[in-house]
């Protein structure tokens, strides 16, 4: 059964902010996220509306979310869009973004929000206010935190051959020597410019989407926000981490990967394929091959040392073999493909 779709109505028919949530078999998390957003809708200057897409969950998710929107009186600001297939994270987000950009008055900003998040008071408003005050800022990401308010990494550097070397070797001295290139530095306490921000909660200026396109649907999951931030940076837009916007991130609850309180699962093939796509698409195959070599050689050395010293294995099962299988052996036949990044809107440039 396909649920009836809620229609935007009331005072928020042309909201300043469109919030997009992609659900795939996480209806309870999505409803909790919507509940946390309810007070934010009215508190956001210009208003906010929420578009939830369901990636063909097939488990009753769409019906449960539609019922929650109806029964809680959220239908004047929340809408459900059932999709015909599970095309991945970028696919689910793009479906809602395209709809928002076709509104009679498109939103100034689009907030991409994971279903496994709970927004703290003012989280949406702070991101919009920051973008209002910084016209060259095209993307702004929230401070992510655990339920006890401990911060999570949310502001990152673009990956490189040197950062891949550090990620594989994991030796404190090397990490300190490469402190300026490691991907995940300590979370900054204040607003700071950064290369890219976590896709769990980040706001994009409409003109960025109009100038560089939507998320690349060639990524099934992971690396799509990194790719968007890189394209925006190359087009002259700035990316900022804004800790005044606080969002609880229940890590791994939506993807099932890296859940802190559970044993590590084997990494899915699409993680390696997304990493491969990022390096090939944005840096070319010689650079991608060098990044692979750095990661494999240093990771193999680290595993040998760990085994000799009889230290516990913190990694997901079969990580090295899966890396070689999916990120190396799978990368040469076709190369990257650009998919579904176009939008029905005019071009824009940084202010």
- Which of 6-20, 32-46, 53-67, 151-165 comes out lowest in average pLDDT? 6-20
| Distance from C-alpha of 114 to C-alpha of 30, rounded to nearest angstrom | 8
Give the pairing type, strands 48-54 and 17-23: parallel
Q: Which tens digit of pLDDT belongs to each residue from 13-50?
A: 689 999 999 999 999 999 999 999 999 998 999 999 99
Residue 51 · residue 20 · CB < 8 Å: yes
For residue 275, is pLDDT > 50? yes
Residue 27 · residue 61 · CB < 8 Å: yes
For residue 139, is pLDDT > 90? yes
Nearest to 280 by CA among 292, 297, 266, 271: 292
Quick one: average pLDDT of 225-245?
A: 98
Quick one: average pLDDT of 98-116?
A: 95
For residue 257, is pLDDT > 90? no
Residue 263 pLDDT: 67
Element (H, E) at 207: helix 206-212
Residue 258 pLDDT: 55
- Which of 6-10, 121-125, 136-140 comes out lowest in average pLDDT? 6-10
For residue 345, is pLDDT > 70? no
Quick one: average pLDDT of 134-162?
A: 97
Quick one: average pLDDT of 243-251?
A: 96
Of the pLDDT bands very low, low, confident and very high (cuts 50, 70, 90), residue 336 is very low
DSSP state of 15: -
Residue 265 pLDDT: 85
pTM value? 0.89
Quick one: average pLDDT of 161-177?
A: 89
Quick one: average pLDDT of 256-268?
A: 69
Quick one: average pLDDT of 226-235?
A: 98
Of the pLDDT bands very low, low, confident and very high (cuts 50, 70, 90), residue 11 is very low
Residue 172 pLDDT: 83
What is the percent of the chain with per-residue pLDDT over 70, rounded to a whole number?
87
Quick one: average pLDDT of 206-234?
A: 97
Nearest to 50 by CA among 36, 61, 64: 36
Quick one: average pLDDT of 190-219?
A: 97
Domain residue spans of the chain: 11-152+187-249
CATH number belonging to the domain at 11-152+187-249, selected among 2.40.110.10, 3.30.450.20, 3.90.550.60, 3.40.50.300: 3.90.550.60
Of the pLDDT bands very low, low, confident and very high (cuts 50, 70, 90), residue 262 is low
For residue 180, is pLDDT > 50? yes
Task: Please state, rounded to an integer, the average pLDDT across all residues of the chain.
Answer: 88
For residue 4, is pLDDT > 50? no
Nearest to 57 by CA among 25, 90, 20: 25
Residue 254 pLDDT: 58
| Distance from C-alpha of 78 to C-alpha of 52, rounded to nearest angstrom | 8
How many C-beta neighbours within 10 Å does residue 146 have? 13
Of the pLDDT bands very low, low, confident and very high (cuts 50, 70, 90), residue 256 is low
Residue 331 pLDDT: 52
Residue 177 pLDDT: 87
Quick one: average pLDDT of 248-273?
A: 76
């Amino acid at each position: 059964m396909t649920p009836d779709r809620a229609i935007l109505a009331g005072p928020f028919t042309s909201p300043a902010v469109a919030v997009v949530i992609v659900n795939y078999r996480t209806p309870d998390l999505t409803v909790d996220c919507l509940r946390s957003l309810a007070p934010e809708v009215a508190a956001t200057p210009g208003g906010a509306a929420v578009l939830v897409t369901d990636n063909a969950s097939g488990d009753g998710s769409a019906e449960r979310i539609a019922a929650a929107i109806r029964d809680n009186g959220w239908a004047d600001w929340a809408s459900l869009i059932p999709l015909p297939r599970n095309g991945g994270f970028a696919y689910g987000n793009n479906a809602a973004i395209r709809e928002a950009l076709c509104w009679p008055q498109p939103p100034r900003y689009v907030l991409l929000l994971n279903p496994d998040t709970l927004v703290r008071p003012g989280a949406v408003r702070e991101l919009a206010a920051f973008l209002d005050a910084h016209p060259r800022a095209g993307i702004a990401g929230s401070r992510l935190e655990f339920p006890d308010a401990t911060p999570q990494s949310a502001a990152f550097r673009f990956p490189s051959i040197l950062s891949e070397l550090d990620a594989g070797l994991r030796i404190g001295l090397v990490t300190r020597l490469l402190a300026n290139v490691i991907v995940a530095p300590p979370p900054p306490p204040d607003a700071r410019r950064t290369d890219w921000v976590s896709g769990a909660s980040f706001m994009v200026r409409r003109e960025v989407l109009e100038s560089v396109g939507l998320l690349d649907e060639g990524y099934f999951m992971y690396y799509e926000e990194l790719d968007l931030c890189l394209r925006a940076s190359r087009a002259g837009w700035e990316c900022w981490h804004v800790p005044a916007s606080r969002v609880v991130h229940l890590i791994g609850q939506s993807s099932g990967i890296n859940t802190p309180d559970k044993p590590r699962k084997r990494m899915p093939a699409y993680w390696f394929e997304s990493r491969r796509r990022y390096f090939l698409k944005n840096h070319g195959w010689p650079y991608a091959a060098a990044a692979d070599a750095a990661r494999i050689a240093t990771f193999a050395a680290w595993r040998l040392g760990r085994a000799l010293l009889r230290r516990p294995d913190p990694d997901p099962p079969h990580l090295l073999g899966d890396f070689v299988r999916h990120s190396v052996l799978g990368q040469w036949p076709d190369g990257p493909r650009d998919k579904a990044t176009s939008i029905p809107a005019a071009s824009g440039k940084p202010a």
